């Protein structure tokens, strides 16, 4: 039985790796093509390629569920086409043991994805974004296509780049009164966190008063704020790129500021249940191989797997924003497609046996 488990596991793992390699390669090519639009000046092709390569772990994390689905269809389907799966079952191996043999390599990939999502992807993502922003320049306020916004009370802030070492480039702060009228605007070329405050360099403050506009330039000064580099490392990335351990605390921070943290709660639950989502898609793949897709070609299995993966992803993408708009729990939005996939897989598997 150990040899059978190993044989099935190697077949499935190899297929998942090949599918993942193809999907990630296509995604990397698409990202590189998009980055070529920004090439010019200091932002060379090498910089664009570096930025793209740094996004590879995030791409692996994102496409692992789809790769697991298609890979299991291909790996287990090849065993079915060569009648090896029939021989294994005829030898007295129950379907439950075959399912476990398939799940073992999938669980390994899930653990790898969790490590990538928690420790590798956020660090590389922030470094890639800050490097890109620094090279593209930050001399003009609020004109960059990629920047970071934050709100603290009645003050709105924009950062052109947030470096991993806690340094800010191109910071713009706009202070409003309770009626929404702009009172003061400050632009700072750079700021570094020192102790419990920020040290600003090369800035200009424009204050609007009843008497007129007053402008003041300064070379260096300190700025007191509750914002810390740890907080900026959160807002510098999209919710989907953040580790789980930072999502809920930042959602609580937003709620204390009178803002909605539902988007970060949604990202948290999607990351928590991504392993279950992957297993549910694998269950569908197993049920397809034992049932309706047992005798079809490999190409048709790949096509069917891609369609199922697209439907699953579309359902999550629709339910997620819907929970933000209509106000139902993000947990329901995340779990609904997963539970449906599990039920479909179990029902199809029972019918085929």
Strand order in the sheet with 167-176: 148-152, 155-162, 167-176, 182-194, 197-209, 212-223
In this prediction the pTM is: 0.83
Beta bridge partners of 187: 172, 204
Residue 41 has which token pair? 């000046």
61: helix, coil or strand? helix
Q: Domain-by-domain residue ranges, the chain?
A: 2-135+262-352, 154-225
Mean pLDDT of each 10-residue bin along the chain, 353 residues long:
84 94 96 89 88 94 93 88 82 86 94 93 86 68 64 84 80 87 90 89 88 88 84 81 87 80 89 94 89 73 85 88 83 91 87 72
Which pLDDT score, from 0 to 100, does residue 353 have?
67
Q: Tell me if residue 226 falls in helix, strand or coil.
A: coil
CA–CA distances in Å: residue 45 to residues 33, 83, 139, 309, 335: 11, 50, 22, 33, 42
Radius of gyration of the chain (CA): 25
What is the model's pLDDT at position 161? Answer: 80
Classify residue 126 by burial, with Cβ atoms within 10 Å: 0-12, 13-18, 19+: buried
- Tell me if 58 sits within 8 A of 128, measured CB to CB: no
For residues 191 and 203, give the distance between their C-alpha atoms in angstroms, rounded to a whole number: 10
**CATH fold for the domain made of 154-225:** SH3 type barrels. (2.30.30)
Q: How far is CA 151 from CA 110, 164, 227, 268, in A?
A: 36, 20, 10, 21
């Amino acid at each position: 039985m150990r040899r059978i488990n190993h044989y099935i596991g190697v077949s499935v793992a190899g297929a998942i790796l090949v599918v993942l390699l193809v999907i990630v390669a296509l995604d990397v090519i698409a990202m590189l093509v998009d980055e070529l639009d920004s090439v010019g000046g200091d932002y060379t092709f090498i910089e664009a390629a570096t930025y793209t390569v740094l996004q590879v772990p995030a791409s692996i994390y994102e496409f692992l569920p789809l790769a697991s689905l298609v890979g299991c269809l291909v790996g287990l389907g090849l065993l079915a086409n060569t009648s090896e799966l029939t021989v294994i079952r005829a030898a007295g191996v129950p379907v439950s043991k075959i399912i476990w043999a398939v799940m073992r390599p999938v669980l390994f990939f899930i653990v790898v994805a969790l490590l990538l999502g928690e420790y590798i992807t956020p660090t590389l993502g922030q470094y890639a974004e800050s490097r890109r922003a620094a090279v593209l320049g930050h001399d003009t306020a609020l004109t960059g296509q990629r920047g970071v916004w934050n709100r603290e009370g009645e003050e709105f802030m924009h950062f052109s780049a947030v470096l991993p070492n806690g340094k800010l480039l191109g910071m713009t702060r706009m202070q409003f009164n309770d009626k929404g009228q702009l009172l003061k605007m400050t632009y700072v070329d750079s700021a570094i966190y020192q102790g419990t405050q920020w040290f600003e360099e090369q800035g200009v403050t424009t204050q609007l008063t009843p008497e007129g506009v007053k402008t003041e330039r300064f070379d260096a000064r300190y700025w007191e704020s509750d914002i810390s580099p740890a907080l900026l490392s959160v807002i510098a990335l999209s919710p989907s790129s953040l580790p789980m351990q930072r999502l809920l605390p930042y959602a609580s921070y937003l709620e204390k500021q009178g803002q909605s943290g539902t988007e970060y709660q949604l990202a948290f639950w999607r990351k928590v249940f991504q392993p279950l989502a992957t297993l549910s898609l694998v269950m569908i793949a197993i049920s397809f191989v034992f049932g309706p897709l047992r005798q079809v070609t490999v190409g048709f299995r790949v096509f069917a797997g891609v369609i199922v993966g697209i439907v699953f992803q579309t359902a999550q993408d629709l339910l997620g924003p819907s929970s933000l708009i209509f106000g139902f729990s993000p947990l329901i939005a995340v779990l609904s497609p997963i539970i449906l996939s599990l039920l479909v897989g179990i029902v199809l598997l029972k019918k085929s046996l």
